A = this chain, B = another copy of it.
Amino acid sequence: MSAQTKPESNALDALRSMLGDRLSTAAAVREQHGKDESYHPSAAPDAVAFARSTQEVAEVVRICAAQKLPVIAFGTGTSLEGHVAALRGGVCVDLSGMDQVLEVNAEDLDCRVQAGVRRKQLNEYLRDTGLFFPIDPGADASLGGMTATRASGTNAVRYGTMRENVLGLTVVLADGRVIRTGGRARKSSAGYDLTRLMVGSEGTLGVITEIQLKLYGIPEAVSSAVCSFETLEGAVNAVIMTIQMGIPVARIELLDEVQMDAINRYSDLHYPPQPTLFFEFHGSDAGVREQTERVGEIASEFGGGDFHWATRPEDRNKLWQARHDAYYAAMALRPGCKGWATDVCVPISRLAECILETRKDIDESGIITPIVGHVGDGNFHLVFLVDTENEKEMKKATAVNDRMVIRALEMGGTCTGEHGIGYGKIEFLKHEHGEGVSVMRQIKQALDPDDLMNPGKIL
């Protein structure tokens, strides 16, 4: 065996001598790191490097670059479009050991964290400061991963997405250079916005190792409510009206009747199995009161029932836990199935139409598929409950997904509101951005000429 001359072996030897036990080539570890929470099959890397610092990541990247081995960043593996699959082998850089909150500047409402810090961990860390970090994609994802996929979730309607909440980054580039982008100022006109270029780049332009984040004061008053609607259309139209009126709701989430049935079973709840909106209101006492009155009026105008309130933190947590468990609840509807989560986002005036047409298409396909959505942003998700071995079923689901994405694009929307492209939506990206994709490719080529950073994703 000419192992000594194979580039993989040379690189792995060098990595092992640097990292010792923190380099793993065990099959189970590699397998786990080649797979996210999606239906996409695992594509295991050649090795997994458990990094502890930006310098170590830079050294790993330099070693891999010298041997032209791909590098794939890994946070918690909760992405949904195959983002972490090592499609061309290479070294997975696991950043979960980089889990330090490096600074909290309470007066300036910002902090800096290592990429492996998880969002719940950050909020626990912040508990005594009166501050919180609002972005909440459901999964307890790492902030590095959330940055790399431009995550958003339930609070985005009020607080924005990772795009709006990342102030700056530390990034290891394809050649091992380390850059700091952005800064701590709230705004800047100093040069190209490298921060925003990296946010959402899915590890294809570099490995994000540190993130400067905006924080927010915990609101004086927080109140959550659940409201069932007679029809899906009524629920969606209530959302549209709420947004158009400029009411600053913190969360406004839709669960359709299939999803409500699922969470009732999964979380032992007893909501009516009808299209339902979950709300959260943030503000002063008076402000929250005012918002809830207005939204209550809107809801009843569109066939909404009474609001079921949760104001105590434990009740609110239970309510939102049920919402966050929607994916697992959906999967429990069909034991043994896989969940294929997909999302689109459209201008809000088209939301009802897009959801209703999609619901009809799903029903005709016969695949159990709940719909949930961060509908305040015009963003909604399907979870196809599929047997991935069943070709006919997969074909049907693929067709429904294709039609939904094309529908969303024709309505002026996007092929993914928050999951990203990974390798599941590359064709749709071309459909959406046309010649723009060639510009993305030029940028990729400039910064990663050997295509080593998470190859096969986005482009």
Residues of A within 8 A of B (CB): 105, 107-110, 149-152, 156, 160-161, 163-164, 173, 177-181, 183-194, 196-197, 199-201, 205, 216-217, 219, 240, 243-246, 284, 286-287, 290, 345-349, 377-379, 412-421, 425, 428-429, 432-440, 442-447, 458-459
Contacts and interface: CB of A to CB of B under 8 A. Distances in A.
Contacts of A287: 286-287, 290
B345 A185 contact: yes
Contacts of A420: 189-190
A411 to B, nearest CB: 9
A246 B216 contact: yes
B377 A186 contact: yes
Which of A156, A186, A416, A445 counts the most chain B CB atoms within 10 A? A186
A101 to B, nearest CB: 17
B188 A439 contact: no
Contact of A447 (B109, B437, B442): B442
Given A435-B177, A445-B446, A190 B414 contact: yes
A347 B108 contact: yes
A147 B146 CA distance: 27
Given A217-B245, A290-B286, A190 B447 contact: no
Given A185-B414, A246-B217, A434 B179 contact: yes
A187 B200 contact: no
Nearest to A148: B189
Nearest to A218: B246
A150 B189 contact: yes
In this complex, the member of A190, A243, A347, A418 whose beta carbon has the largest number of chain B beta carbons within 10 angstroms is: A190
Contacts of A416: 188-190
24 contacts: A105-B349, A107-B240, A108-B348, A150-B193, A177-B438, A180-B433, A183-B412, A183-B413, A185-B413, A186-B345, A187-B414, A191-B432, A191-B437, A192-B444, A193-B200, A194-B433, A196-B196, A197-B197, A217-B244, A286-B286, A442-B446, A442-B447, A443-B443, A445-B446
Given A184-B413, A432-B183, A244 B109 contact: yes
Work out how many copies of this chain go into the complex: 2
A197 to B, nearest CB: 5
A187 B444 CA distance: 22
Given A108-B347, A193-B197, A193-B200, A152 B187 contact: yes
A194 B105 contact: no
A197 B446 CA distance: 15
B286 A184 contact: no
A199 B191 contact: no
B191 A163 contact: no
Contacts of A439: 173, 179, 194, 447
Contacts of A349: 105, 107-108
A414 B188 contact: yes
B199 A193 contact: yes
Contacts of A163: 187, 193, 196
Nearest to A169: B436
Given A173-B439, A412-B183, A412-B184, A190 B433 contact: yes
A219 B217 CA distance: 23
A197 B187 contact: no
A459 B290 CA distance: 50
Contacts of A110: 347
A113 B156 CA distance: 26
Contact of A446 (B149, B184, B436, B446): B446
A422 to B, nearest CB: 10
Given A186-B379, A187-B379, A443-B447, 11 more contacts: A151-B189, A156-B187, A177-B438, A185-B378, A186-B378, A188-B417, A189-B420, A193-B200, A217-B246, A286-B286, A286-B287
Contacts of A196: 163, 193, 196-197
- Of the listed residues A186, A192, A346, A437, the one surrounded by the most CB atoms of chain B closer than 10 A to its CB is A192
Nearest to A431: B190
Given A194-B436, A287-B287, A414-B190, A107 B185 contact: no
B290 A419 contact: no
